[in-house]
Structure formats: C-alpha cells, structure tokens
C-alpha cells in the first residue's frame, strides 16, 4: 500500500489548480443566464475542498469546467500550470482520461459492464491498469462479492462504492465529486464518504466536492461557497 | 374531468414526439400498403379469371364432356336436340395466327344459351356475317392488334372478350382446327322442357360436368397467389415490427402521465378505452394512407404479375386495376387489426403494472430472462415443427407451413444467437474500450432486436428467393440449350405451303424436325401430345430426367411415350405405367423430361403414332438442323423462296433470347416484392436506431466523461451497427439457403410440378450484402449526425443534479 501512495504522490506533485476570472453563461428560454461570474480560485495538491451553495449557484457548472467537460466563456483553468480551456476536444478528452476522476450523484456506472469491469474501466482507458491496486480497492470498498454483478443488480450504496472504486483505480491527480451521497441515506452516505476521503488522502489526490450539506462540508479541509455565480 | 381533457393529455405526448408519431404512422401505412397492394393484385387477377371463365367456358352452366378427354361426335349433339334438350355444341382448340397462338372457341350462336353469350349477335347482320363464310372472329382489342394482318378472317372487337381467345362460328372452328364433325363439349342450358328423357339415354358415353365455382386457371394459379399472399404477409409482418416497437416505447414513456391521470381519478378501464380509441384513430388514418399507397403499389406490381401469370400459366390478366370497396375496406380492417395485435402487449402491461411503478423508458425493450427463455423455446419448437413438416407432411399448404415455421423460428432465435456471439467477443477482448464495445452492443440488442429480426426476414427472403430464381434461371438456360437444339424454326402459313416446304428442305438441311401437336384431355387434364421423328437430335439433346436405356427406340416404334415432369409428378407416374391417350390409343410411359414454364401436361409420341390417330394434325411448323454458319443463308433463301414473313422464320438465338426475356419478366414481381420488403426492414432499422439514439445519452455520457471523444464514440456507434448488421446478414445466409431449398424442393414441386436443382450464387450474396450495407449506412446517417453534433451541454445533462 505504501509503495502505491509514494508513486501517486510523485505523479500528483504538480496537480495544482488555479482558476482565473472564470465565467460561464447559458442560453435559456428566458434569455442568457450567467452561471459563473469571474471566479478566481487556487487549490493546492492534495487539498480536499467542499464547494457549497444553493441550487443554481453554479457549483456543478464550475465542477464540469474543471473536469474539462465544458468550456468557459472567459477565463483560465490552469491545471499544473496548463490552461485546459485552450485544449481542443481531443486534448480535453485525454485530460479527463488521464488526470481526472469523476464521481456523480447518479453514479453513472456503465450498465453493460459488470462490477469488476466497471472498476477497471477508467484505469484501463488511462493506461494505468493495476490488478493489485484494484484488488486492494475492492477489498477496502467491500465489493468483493459483487464483482460479477451488473449495476442494475446493486443497491445505491453499492453502486456509489463501485463508482468510487472506478475513479480511484485510475489513480487520478484530481477527484471531482458532484453530490456523491445525494442519493444515499445518511448512514450509507457517511460510510461512502469516509472511504472516499481515506482513499483520496492515501493517494494524495486533490478532491473538489460539490455538496449541499454543511455537515459533510465541515469534514473537508476547506469550504468555498458560491452565490449567484460568485465566490463569497 | 371530461374525456376530452384526458384525451388531450394523452395526445400531447405525440405532439412532443413527432418522430415517434411519424414512425408509427409510417410503419402502419407501409404494412397496410404492402398487404393491401398484394391483395388488390390477387383480387384483380381472380376477378379476371372469373370473367374469362364465365365468358369463355360458360362455367356457370353444366356441360356434357367425354370422360377421357376425347372428342364428342357431332351426332351426340344432334340426338340430344332432336330429343328436345336445349343444348349447344362447342369445339375448341389452339390455332396459330402467325406468331400468335389463340384459343379458338367455336360456338353455335343460335343454340347457345342467352345467359352465357359473350358475343352480342342480336343484330341480324352481325349474326349473318358471324356464321357465313369466310367467317368472323370475335376477339379483344389487344388480341385484334396482335393478329391484324395475320388472317383473312374478318375481326370483330369486343371489350368483353379476354385476351388470347377468339370466338368463331363452330363451322369455322372445324375448318381451322381440322376437326370436322367433332365437339369438345356440349353446353346444357338451365331452362329445359319438362318430361325429357334422361341425357344418358342419348349420350351414354358422355358425363355431365356440373357448374364450377373455380375455373381451371384459377385452380392452376392458386399456388402463385398463395406465394404472393405469403410475400405480402411477410412485408406486413416486417412493417408491424415498427408499429409494435413504437407503441411499446410510447406506452413506456407515457407511464408517468398514466400514473398522474390515475392518481387524479381516471379509472383504469377509462384509460384503456381512451388509449384503444387513440390507437384505432391512428390505425384508420394510417390505413387510409396505406390503402392509397397500396393502390399505387398494386398498380406498379400488376403488370409484373400479369407477365408472371402469362409466363407461368398462360393466364391473361389485364394490366389495369379497379378500385373495389371490399379491397379498401379490408385495407382499413388489416390496419386496425395490425395495430391491435401490435399494442396488445402494451395494453396488457398497462392493466397489470401497479399504479405507482416507475417508468423506465431506458430499460424499454430489454426482455426479461423468462421472456428470453420463452422466446428461445418457441423458436426451437417452430424449427422442430418445420423439420417435422418436411419429413411427414406434403402438399402446398405444408410447404408454406415449413416456410412460415422456419422463418418465424429463426427470427425468434436471432436475439439469442447474436447475444451469444457478442458475449463470446466480449470474453475474448481485453482492452477496456473494446470490451465495452461488445458489452454495450449486447445491451443495445433487445432494443434493436425487432428491427434486426425484420432485417433477418427480409435478407433471408432475398437470399432464398434469389437463390431459387437464379437456380431456376441457370437450369432454364441449360434446358433451353437442350430443348432448342434446332438452329432454325420455320412455320408455313398453310398445309400446301408446308408440303412444298418439306420437299424443298429435304436437300437443304441436315434434318427436318416436325413440330406437330394436338390438344386433348388425359386423366381429366388438358394436355398436348407432340409427335417427334426418330432423329439423333432428340437422343443427344432432349432433357430427360428419367427413362429406359432404349427410350427413343421405343418412342419411334410407337411402343412408348414420354411425359413432361409436371404431369409425371402430378400423376405420380412410373416407368411402365399405361396411359389412355385417345379412345383407341393406349401407350406405355418410357421416360420423363423437364419442361419448364409450361403449365400443361405434355406427352411426346412417335410422329407416326400421332398422325395415325390424328390424321388431320397440323404440320405447319418445323425445326431445322443445319450448320450454324449456314443459318443466315438458309433464312434468306426461305424468305426468297416462300415469301415467309420474318415472324415465321426464327433462329435459335432469337428464340432463346425471347425465352430468357420472358423468364426474366416472369420474376420481375418477385424482385419488386423482395426490394420492398428489404426497404421496409431498412426503415425499421433506421427508426429503431433513431429511437435508441434518444436513449443512448445515459450510456454514452459516462464513457465520454472518462475521456473518450465524441468522434470516437460516433465511430464506435457506426462499428456497432455494422457488426450487428453483419452478424444478422451472416445468419440470414444459411436461413436463406434453407428457404431456397424448401422453395425448390417442396413449394415449387407442388405449385408448378417441376423440381429444379439448387445452385449457390456467392456473387449475389456479395451484391445483397452491399445493398444491405448501403441501407445500414443510410439508416445510421441521421442518428450518427445527431450523436456527432451533440453539444457537451446535452451530455452534461446526464450528470446534472439540478435540472
């Protein structure tokens, strides 16, 4: 276990995030809606940060921009000094494949693959497939008996454990989680979060988590609050 | 809450899903169109047979006929008339006017019962010209066009006459057919004087044939119409796949609406009735469109069908279509029935699913494990049944039963076969993306399976029917080479000219092969007896399928006769069987030969044996054997010497070309129906892909989020569709070959009376594969364009928590 952590710390040493004057708006039926208005934010390597705010404050949009899922209207997203907003579709896909791990509220597991294949999927795509590390994750996540099952045969808690396993198996420098416990009850949510924090800390990943819950946000190193597209 | 409010809520779904509504209407309209189009063609042909039978055969009345098909002496008629019987004589046979062969029907207009008179001779002048020499022929306008200039007889055109036949006075018929004093049948009028002595007293050798509802040609062509109906049904079923699939999805997507309506107090029965009414409304609208398109399809198909019927059975069907109320009513009925059949499962599910069950449109189409098992079991049972039918049943109906079970069984088995293949491929893969590719393809399978089943049916029908037609064509061309061995065929215009011709030819050619035949009835069937000379041409070329070693010696000596394959099979004849050819002529069957394209039975006897029984037999036509390089010279010499028109001198190449053209024309309608069925299957595929594209986002978005570009995803989508098409195509090949075998070995033998050996045509598969591939690519274009042009914001919606 120790040796893996050392490897990852080496990989992630440069994973520092800096957002500069970031803006994003969408066309809606009522006209143009400015979701993010000049966001500036710095995250250090290994930081665990909670992103809070009311519905519509722009949390998920900010997360999607940092994940390279979408492009800002203006501003820079510097990941390890490189502006990913300047990358083309292929470049951003490579960034998501190799450097980012995503955990969603809806889990978004691949329904056609069994649990084992789901966990290995992102790591294989990233070219970092490591059976020993996956086995360890499986053991720590407690999904060893579920490996041949398909997502639709799992409970919500089990699905989120598998989703976390999939993310961490790829050993990403940056873990982005969007309401990861939003679909789970409190006990299950806490158990899943404990696991995610522990594994993220262990691997030295930077964690940015969107949550509505102040209780959960209090457990992270830092909180950033968004209101009407601005950090308050 | 009024009914209209609920109906508006239900109908609002279609306003938001115009594509789905279009697919439903299109599928239903196409299914109705192809079915009702084929029915219209069948109805038109059958009506035509009935008209012809009523006009030419007077089949609404009883007849006196000779049991062995022999001629009836005129004396029998005279005796009956003298005894007071209201009867009328008919003499008929075939006569050639130049290149046109006509059925000549000689009637006696003064005694012919009024109810069967096709020829209006009420006017004294008309009657006089009809019965007075040189005589008048009453023919259809088309026939008149064909024989104009080929005869000195006066022509009178009647719209009520079917093509290919001519009414003449019986005296003229006797002269043309050289059957003086002979009758073919005697028509018995309905109105008879009371107290007459029984018919048997005056004509003990004759039997009464009661009026028949079905004419001979109708009986003969029954198998063809059954074939056409089967094809129409196949296209209908393929169209219904679209309807079934669309209705299923629409019901699943509307589940939240159903739930809300029921929570608001709409009863389950009211909801079901409204949905049923909605479906019937759609069915009627689509049915109307289908009937209109069906009429157009029928108009397009009818000339081809007419050509086929003429080529295969000699049946004449006019190439125009009339609108019949029963036809368009049946079109609406089939549209409604098809809709109800396609929606039964969805309606039953609606009635059974608990009120608060969540809708799962993403999971729509995924069959349950039990459902898959049931489907595989049903497939196995159907395939087993088709095998059992092949082994233990016979007859045309059994042949179609085999086809139906085979096609249905195979299409039900297809999802299991494809799923097995995709699982194997997934297990054999190691890369994440490749593994996902196979797993995802397997997951898409249930949603696409109906379209793939439709595709399988269309492709198998194409391979099967294509193999059947091509095998037939290959055999037919080989058979033509054997059968048309003479280099030149010549027809004299009269017996005098024929005598001169024979004398002249004796020194000009290697051999002269007379083509002389009589029409008769053997074992109750209309037959032709041909007379052949003893010539090496026959020994070397004639396409025998079975025969004694010295078969030609026996034919030449008059000891035996040959029969064609259709008569051989129909009568289950064996070598050595005795045939009554005429009242004083019995002969032994010594062999059988293939005789494709001839609906009638045929017998070949020695020319001497034939002419001794039928001294008046026509000797106008001859096949001539000459060196191929002398054909052109001989042709011009014949023309110079006898002044024969070009139609009376036909060389082998021209005759073969003409035969091939007729053959190809014969199967035009099959080709057209094949193309239509494939088109409907491609449409089913297109609509399924389009529908699935709408539901693909939740499956594709996570893969995209993990770093696979939209372009790569689009390429994988193309590959996935192509793999499924290719796997279905590969499955369709053995199924198509099995279909071809059943058509050739079972259905054709029953339908036409001949069996053609099966050949394999891989080139045609490649061609079909390319057409199918093109259809696949076209069906992918729009869904793919949608996917490739998908904005990231659309994909992001999948992950959004605050929507």
By C-alpha distance, the chain A residue nearest B445 is A112
Please write down the HEC assignment for all residues of B375-395: HHHHHHHHHHHHHHHHHHCCC
pLDDT at residue A13 is higher than 70: no
Do residue A90 and residue B440 have CB atoms under 8 angstroms apart?
Answer: no
Question: Of B422, B437, B440, B802, which to mutate for an interface test with A (greatest number of A Cβ within 10 Å)?
Answer: B802
The end-to-end CA distance of chain A, in Å, is 39
pLDDT in tens, B301-337: 777 777 777 666 666 666 666 777 777 888 889 899 9
Q: Which residues of B742-755 are buried (b: 16+ CB within 10 A; e: fewer)?
A: bbbbbbbbbbbbbb
User: Is residue B452 in a domain?
Assistant: no
* Res A4: pLDDT: 38
User: Is residue B512 in a domain?
Assistant: yes
As a whole number, mean pLDDT of residues B541-559 equals 89
User: Is residue B97 in a domain?
Assistant: yes
Among the ranges given (A71-75, B261-265, B354-358, B653-657), the one the predictor scored with the smallest mean pLDDT: B354-358
Q: Are residues B198 and B77 in the same domain?
A: yes
Contact between A170 and A128 under an 8 Å Cβ cutoff? The reply is yes
Please give the full DSSP string across B757-802, using - where no structure is assigned: -----HHHHHHHHHHHHHHHHHHHHHHHHHHHT--HHHHHTTT-S-
Which member of B439, B711, B801 has the closest CB to residue A178?
B801
Query: B434 — contact with chain A (CB < 8 Å)?
Result: no
Query: B701 — contact with chain A (CB < 8 Å)?
Result: yes
Closest listed residue to residue B677, CA positions, set B26, B35, B23, B19: B35
Among the ranges given (A56-65, A151-160, B204-213), the one the predictor scored with the smallest mean pLDDT: B204-213
Do residue A110 and residue B702 have CB atoms under 8 angstroms apart?
Answer: yes
B289: confidence class by pLDDT, cuts 50, 70, 90: very high
Contact between A152 and A111 under an 8 Å Cβ cutoff? The reply is yes
Query: A90 — contact with chain B (CB < 8 Å)?
Result: yes
Token pair 């078969």 in the structure block, residue:
B551
As a whole number, mean pLDDT of residues A167-193 equals 84
**Residue scoring higher pLDDT (B117 or B138):** B138
Q: Looking at CA atoms only, how far is residue B686 from chain A in angstroms?
A: 23
Which member of B432, B440, B801 has the closest CB to residue A124?
B432
Which member of B705, B710, B800 has the closest CB to residue A102?
B705
User: Is residue B124 in a domain?
Assistant: yes
Query: A119 — contact with chain B (CB < 8 Å)?
Result: no
Do residue B802 and residue A60 have CB atoms under 8 angstroms apart?
Answer: yes
Whole-angstrom CA distances from A22 to A96, A231, B386 are 19, 11, 70
Rounded Cα–Cα distance for residues B734 and B337 (Å): 33
What domain range is A189 assigned to? 2-11+45-69+98-226
pLDDT at residue A11 is higher than 60: no
pLDDT at residue B367 is higher than 60: no
Rounded Cα–Cα distance for residues B105 and A190 (Å): 100
How does strand B585-593 pair with strand B560-564?
A: parallel
Query: B798 — contact with chain A (CB < 8 Å)?
Result: yes
Instruction: Count up the domains in chain B and report the number.
Output: 3
pLDDT at residue B742 is higher than 80: yes
Q: Are residues B597 and B503 in the same domain?
A: yes
Specify which residues A210 forms β-bridges with: A51, A178
* Res A14: pLDDT: 37
Whole-angstrom CA distances from B481 to A85, A142, B478, B772 are 76, 79, 5, 35
Q: Are residues B17 and B111 in the same domain?
A: no
Do residue B796 and residue A112 have CB atoms under 8 angstroms apart?
Answer: no
In the DSSP assignment, the letter for residue B363 is G
Structure tokens at B768: 């079909």
By C-alpha distance, the chain B residue nearest A60 is B800
* Res B360: pLDDT: 57
User: Is residue A26 in a domain?
Assistant: no
User: Is residue A36 in a domain?
Assistant: no
Q: Are residues B23 and B78 in the same domain?
A: no
B55: confidence class by pLDDT, cuts 50, 70, 90: low
Looking at every residue in chain B, the average pLDDT score rounds to 81
Q: Looking at CA atoms only, how far is residue A169 from chain B in angstroms?
A: 13
- Chain A positions touching B439 (Cβ under 8 A) are 110, 112-113, 117
As a whole number, mean pLDDT of residues B700-721 equals 88
Contact between B327 and B40 under an 8 Å Cβ cutoff? The reply is yes
Instruction: Count up the domains in chain A and report the number.
Output: 1
Q: Are residues B64 and B196 in the same domain?
A: yes
Query: B792 — contact with chain A (CB < 8 Å)?
Result: yes
Q: Looking at CA atoms only, how far is residue A124 from chain B in angstroms?
A: 6
How does strand B578-582 pair with strand B585-593?
A: antiparallel
Residues of chain B above pLDDT 90, percent: 11
Among the ranges given (A33-47, B80-94, B141-155, B494-508), the one the predictor scored with the smallest mean pLDDT: B141-155
| Phi-psi category of residue B247: left, alpha or beta, with phi > 0 → left and psi -120 to 50 → alpha | alpha
Q: Are residues B559 and B521 in the same domain?
A: yes
Among B186, B211, B236, identify where a domain stops. Answer: B211
Which member of A55, A71, A125 has the closest CB to residue B432?
A125
Q: Are residues B302 and B162 in the same domain?
A: no
- Chain B positions touching A112 (Cβ under 8 A) are 436, 439-440, 442-443, 699
* Res B562: pLDDT: 94
Among the ranges given (B273-287, B622-636, B670-684), the one the predictor scored with the smallest mean pLDDT: B670-684
B422: confidence class by pLDDT, cuts 50, 70, 90: very high
* Res B12: pLDDT: 87
User: Is residue A61 in a domain?
Assistant: yes
Q: Are residues B498 and B603 in the same domain?
A: yes
Query: A104 — contact with chain B (CB < 8 Å)?
Result: yes
CA atoms within 13 A on the CB side of B669: 30
Please write down the HEC assignment for all residues of B401-418: HHHHHHHHHHHHHHHHHH
For residue A32, the surrounding DSSP H or E stretch is strand A31-43
User: Is residue B352 in a domain?
Assistant: yes
Size of interface A-B (CB pairs under 8 A): 96
Q: Are residues B27 and B151 in the same domain?
A: no
Among the ranges given (A107-111, B120-124, B632-636, B750-754), the one the predictor scored with the smallest mean pLDDT: B120-124
pLDDT at residue A72 is higher than 90: yes
Q: Are residues B174 and B275 in the same domain?
A: no
Query: A67 — contact with chain B (CB < 8 Å)?
Result: yes
**Residue scoring higher pLDDT (B5 or B488):** B488
* Res B211: pLDDT: 65
User: Is residue B778 in a domain?
Assistant: no
- Chain B positions touching A125 (Cβ under 8 A) are 432-433, 706-708
- Chain A positions touching B434 (Cβ under 8 A) are none
**Residue scoring higher pLDDT (B666 or B289):** B289
* Res A41: pLDDT: 92
Query: A130 — contact with chain B (CB < 8 Å)?
Result: no
Contact between B300 and B19 under an 8 Å Cβ cutoff? The reply is no
Question: Of A33, A53, A73, A110, which to mutate for an interface test with B (greatest number of B Cβ within 10 Å)?
Answer: A110
**Residue scoring higher pLDDT (B197 or B509):** B509
pLDDT at residue A2 is higher than 50: no
Query: B795 — contact with chain A (CB < 8 Å)?
Result: yes
Do residue A121 and residue B432 have CB atoms under 8 angstroms apart?
Answer: yes
Query: A159 — contact with chain B (CB < 8 Å)?
Result: no
Helix, strand, or coil (residue A169): helix
Structure tokens at B767: 């061609």
Do residue B802 and residue A121 have CB atoms under 8 angstroms apart?
Answer: no
Contact between A100 and A176 under an 8 Å Cβ cutoff? The reply is yes
User: Is residue A106 in a domain?
Assistant: yes
User: Is residue A210 in a domain?
Assistant: yes
By C-alpha distance, the chain A residue nearest B791 is A70
Q: What is the CATH number of the domain that holds A179?
A: 3.40.50.300
Contact between B563 and B601 under an 8 Å Cβ cutoff? The reply is yes
The residues, ordered by sequence, that sit 6+ positions from A227 with a Cβ below 8 Å of its Cβ are: A53, A54, A57
Rounded Cα–Cα distance for residues B691 and B684 (Å): 10
Do residue B439 and residue A55 have CB atoms under 8 angstroms apart?
Answer: no
* Res B59: pLDDT: 57
Do residue B432 and residue A120 have CB atoms under 8 angstroms apart?
Answer: yes
As a whole number, mean pLDDT of residues B775-788 equals 78
* Res A46: pLDDT: 84
User: Is residue B694 in a domain?
Assistant: no
Please give the full DSSP string across A207-222, using - where no structure is assigned: EEEE-S-HHHHTTSSE
Q: Is the dihedral of CA B646, B648, B652, B653 positive or negative?
A: positive
By C-alpha distance, the chain A residue nearest B704 is A93
A12: confidence class by pLDDT, cuts 50, 70, 90: very low
As a whole number, mean pLDDT of residues B631-652 equals 83
What domain range is B538 assigned to? 488-625
As a whole number, mean pLDDT of residues A17-37 equals 89
User: Is residue A201 in a domain?
Assistant: yes
Chain B, residues 354-383, CB within 8 A of chain A, namely: none
Highest mean pLDDT among A225-229, B20-24, B395-399: A225-229
User: Is residue B276 in a domain?
Assistant: yes
């Amino acid at each position: 276990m120790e040796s893996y952590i050392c490897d990852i710390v080496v990989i992630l040493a440069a994973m520092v995030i800096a957002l500069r004057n970031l803006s994003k708006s969408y066309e809606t039926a009522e006209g143009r809606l400015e979701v993010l208005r000049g966001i500036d934010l710095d995250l250090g390597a290994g930081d665990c940060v909670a992103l809070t705010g009311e519905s519509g404050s722009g949390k998920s949009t900010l997360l999607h921009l940092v994940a390279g899922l979408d492009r800002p209207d203006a501003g820079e997203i510097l990941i390890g000094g490189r502006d990913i907003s300047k990358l083309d579709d292929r470049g951003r896909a490579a960034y998501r494949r190799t450097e980012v791990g995503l955990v969603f509220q809806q889990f978004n597991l691949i329904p056609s693959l069994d649990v084992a294949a789901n966990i290995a999927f992102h790591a294989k795509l990233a070219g970092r497939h490591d059976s020993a590390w996956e086995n360890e994750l499986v053991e720590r996540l407690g999904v060893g008996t579920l490996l041949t099952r398909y997502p639709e045969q799992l409970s919500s808690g089990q699905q989120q454990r598998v989703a976390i396993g999939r993310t961490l198996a790829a050993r990403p420098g940056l873990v982005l989680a969007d309401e990861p416990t939003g679909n789970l009850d409190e006990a299950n949510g806490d158990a899943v979060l404990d696991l995610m924090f522990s594994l993220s800390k262990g691997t030295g990943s930077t964690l940015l988590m969107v949550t509505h819950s102040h209780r959960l946000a209090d457990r992270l190193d830092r909180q950033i609050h968004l209101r009407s597209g601005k950090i308050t | 809450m009024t009914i209209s409010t609920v109906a508006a809520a239900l109908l609002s779904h279609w306003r938001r899903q115009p594509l789905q509504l279009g697919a439903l209407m299109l599928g239903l309209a196409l299914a109705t169109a192809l079915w009702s189009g084929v029915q219209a063609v069948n109805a038109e042909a059958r009506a035509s047979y009935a008209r012809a039978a009523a006009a030419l055969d007077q089949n609404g009345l009883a007849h006196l006929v000779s049991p062995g098909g022999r001629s009836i002496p005129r004396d029998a008629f005279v005796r009956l008339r003298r005894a007071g019987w209201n009867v009328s004589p008919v003499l008929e046979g075939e006569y050639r006017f130049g290149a046109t062969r006509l059925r000549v029907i000689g009637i006696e207009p003064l005694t012919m019962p009024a109810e069967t008179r096709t020829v209006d001779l009420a006017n004294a002048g008309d009657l006089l010209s009809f019965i007075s020499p040189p005589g008048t022929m009453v023919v259809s306008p088309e026939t008149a066009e064909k024989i104009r200039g080929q005869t000195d007889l006066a022509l009178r055109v009647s719209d009520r006459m079917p093509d290919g036949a001519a009414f003449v006075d019986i005296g003229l018929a006797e002269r043309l057919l050289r059957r003086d004093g002979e009758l073919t049948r005697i028509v018995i009028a309905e109105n008879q004087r009371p107290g007459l002595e029984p018919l048997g007293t005056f004509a003990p050798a004759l039997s009464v044939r009661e009026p028949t509802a079905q004419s001979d040609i109708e009986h003969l062509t029954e198998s063809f119409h059954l074939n056409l109906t089967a094809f129409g049904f196949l296209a209908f079923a393929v169209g219904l796949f679209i309807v079934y699939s669309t209705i299923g999805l629409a019901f699943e997507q509307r589940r939240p609406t159903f739930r809300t309506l029921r929570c608001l107090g709409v009863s389950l029965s009211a909801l079901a009735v409204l949905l049923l009414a909605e479906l019937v409304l759609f069915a009627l609208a689509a049915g109307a469109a289908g009937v209109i398109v069906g009429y157009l399809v029928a108009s397009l198909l009818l000339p081809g069908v007419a050509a086929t019927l003429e080529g295969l059975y000699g049946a004449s069907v006019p190439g125009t279509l009339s609108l019949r109320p029963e036809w368009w009513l049946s079109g609406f009925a089939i549209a409604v029935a098809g809709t109800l059949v396609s929606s039964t499962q969805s309606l039953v599910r609606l009635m059974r699913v608990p009120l608060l069950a969540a809708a799962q449109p993403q999971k729509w189409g995924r069959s349950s494990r039990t459902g898959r098992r049931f489907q595989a079991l049903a497939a196995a049972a159907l395939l087993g049944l088709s095998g059992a039918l092949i082994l233990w049943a016979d007859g045309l109906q059994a042949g179609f039963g085999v086809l139906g079970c085979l096609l249905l069984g195979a299409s039900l088995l297809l999802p299991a076969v494809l799923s097995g293949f995709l699982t194997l491929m997934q297990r054999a893969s190691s890369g994440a993306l490749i593994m996902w590719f196979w797993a995802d393809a397997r997951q898409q399978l249930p949603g696409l399976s109906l379209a793939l089943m439709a595709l399988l049916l269309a492709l198998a029908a194409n391979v099967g029917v294509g193999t059947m037609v091509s095998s037939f064509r290959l055999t037919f061309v080989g058979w033509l080479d054997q059968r048309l061995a003479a280099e030149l065929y010549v027809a004299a215009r009269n017996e005098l000219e024929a005598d001169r011709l024979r004398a002249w030819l004796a020194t000009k050619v290697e051999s002269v092969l007379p083509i002389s035949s009589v029409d008769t009835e053997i074992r109750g069937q209309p037959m032709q007896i041909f007379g052949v000379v003893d010539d090496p041409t026959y020994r070397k070329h004639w396409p025998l399928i079975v025969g004694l070693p010295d078969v030609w010696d026996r034919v030449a000596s008059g000891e035996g006769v040959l029969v064609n394959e259709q008569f051989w099979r129909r009568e289950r004849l064996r070598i050595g069987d005795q045939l009554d050819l005429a009242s004083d002529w019995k002969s032994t069957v010594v062999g059988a030969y293939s005789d494709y394209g001839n609906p009638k039975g045929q017998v070949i006897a020695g020319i001497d044996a034939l002419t001794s029984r039928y001294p008046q037999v026509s000797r106008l036509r001859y096949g001539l054997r000459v060196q191929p390089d002398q054909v052109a010279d001989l042709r011009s010499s014949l023309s110079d010497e006898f002044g024969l028109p070009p139609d009376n001198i036909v060389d082998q190449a021209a005759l073969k070309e003409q035969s091939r053209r007729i053959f190809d024309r014969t199967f035009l309608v099959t080709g057209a129906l094949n193309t239509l069925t494939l088109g409907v299957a491609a449409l089913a595929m297109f609509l399924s892909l389009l529908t699935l594209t709408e539901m693909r986002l939740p499956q594709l978005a996570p893969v995209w989020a993990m770093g696979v570009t939209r372009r790569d995803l689009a390429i994988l989508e193309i590959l996935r569709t192509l793999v499924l098409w290719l796997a279905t195509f590969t499955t369709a090949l053995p199924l198509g070959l099995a279909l071809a075998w059943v058509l050739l070995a079972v259905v054709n033998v029953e339908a036409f009376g001949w069996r053609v050996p099966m050949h394999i045509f891989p080139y045609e598969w490649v061609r079909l594969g390319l057409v199918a591939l093109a259809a696949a690519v076209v069906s992918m274009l729009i869904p793919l364009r949608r996917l490739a042009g998908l904005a990231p914001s659309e994909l992001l919606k999948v992950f959004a928590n605050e929507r």
